[in-house]
Amino acid sequence: MTTPSFTNAVKILTRATEADKRKEWKSAYDLYMKAFDEFKKQLQPYYNSATAINKKLNLESTTTHTAEFTLGPTDSSPKLSPVKLNEVGGLEVCKEVLREATICPKKYPQFFTGNRKPWRAVLLYGPPGSGKTLLAKAIAGEAKFPLYSISPSDIVSKWMGDGETQVKNIFQVAREKAPSIVFIDEIDSLCGKRGENNENGAARRIKSELLVHMQGFVTNEQNVLILAATNTPFYLDKAKMRRFDKRIYVPLPDTEARKHIFKVLHGKTLNTISEKEFEYLANDTEGFSGSDISYFVKDALYEVVRATLTNKFFKRSNENWIKVPPCTAAHFKNVRKNQKATVTKDDLKVFQDFTEKYGING
């Protein structure tokens, strides 16, 4: 049976379309948004009922599809990450904090009683390519938590009020799928200092909405970890920065970490590189980020193919198939001159100064 409120919403929508046809844009927009709010009020109880049934039946797909319909094209599917923490070189302090925030409460809930609570919000900051996003995927894979990766483009909308609704729905889905991780990449784009750079009203409302929900997750016993990453922590709003229990500096990899990264990136690719040669590569790439090393390895691995295609090391098996020889340290030396570090000492100085004031070393 059609309710009076639903009928009223249809009437408003009719008026909106009529104003639209008359090209009365302001009036049409206001009426469309009013009709949308009316419809949303009517549909919310049904959504709540569906969510309750979904929990009883333990059907993973229902809430996810509803979330995708509500949120739009965000990465809300609770897919487990295949990455594990042992694939990340170094950063032992950072790994330990993330384990304390996710694995420990799940494995030892008896430890977290009274005022002893796990970390609820962690900020990872550091130079580009140092592994912040990889850490988020790795801890999600290690803890077997669904990871909801949020980017500014998922939240910011041209429609008035839509951005705040997106924020609210994202946290609602994370709460329903708990234990889970909400990862906000490039959070400085959403939470820069308020009032700067000609900030408009819509941006301020999104920031305020994000602050409210983060505060709710931090203070309440929600089994959801809010994980954020930024390359420019010094541009963050101070109120937003205060919401994070831990602010961890993710530095460039040290020698041992670089050696580990080289080995992981080689994976199962056929090679004859010895332990001593891996040490040489690690020492030769001081100042490289994890991302820089990944491009270096990609170029060196393809150097084998280049040599094969130019007949320098061309070989054929009995089956007349092209056989690619193993990668060697010489291939790395051939492409080394084209590889440059993308982070300077001046860049690192800024992060070190910020860490002395607000963070801890990872």
The interaxial angle of helices 329-336 and 290-309, nearest 10 deg, is 110
Residue with tokens 């049409």: 28
Q: Tell me the pLDDT tens digit for each residue of 223-261.
A: 888 899 999 888 887 777 888 888 999 999 999 999 999
Helix-, strand-, coil-residue percentages of the chain, each rounded to 5: 60, 10, 35
Q: How far apart are CA 127 and CA 249, in angstroms?
A: 9
Q: From the centroid of its chain, how far is CA 220?
A: 23
Q: How far apart are CA 125 and CA 228, in angstroms?
A: 8
Window from 58-62, 88-92, 145-149, 313-317 with minimum mean pLDDT: 58-62
Q: What is the pLDDT of residue 163?
A: 65
Closest CA to 139 of 190, 182, 186: 182
Q: How far apart are CA 309 and CA 322, in angstroms?
A: 9
Q: How far apart are CA 126 and CA 248, in angstroms?
A: 8
**Partners of 322 in beta bridges:** 316
Q: How far apart are CA 339 and CA 192, in angstroms?
A: 33
Question: What length is written for the chain?
Answer: 362
Query: Average pLDDT for residues 93-97, to the nearest whole number?
Result: 89
What one-character-per-residue DSSP string does 212-226 give?
HHHHHHHHTT--EEE
pTM of the model: 0.69
Query: Average pLDDT for residues 45-61, to the nearest whole number?
Result: 57
Window from 15-29, 40-54, 61-75, 103-117 with minimum mean pLDDT: 61-75
Q: How far apart are CA 130 and CA 250, in angstroms?
A: 6
At residue 181, the 3 state secondary structure works out as strand
Q: What is the pLDDT of residue 57?
A: 56
Contact predicate 190/240, CB 8 Å: no
pLDDT above 50 for 65: no
Apex CA 241: angle with CA 236 and CA 245, to 5°?
150
Contact predicate 358/241, CB 8 Å: yes
For residue 32, give Cα distances in angstroms to 8, 29, 97: 13, 5, 47
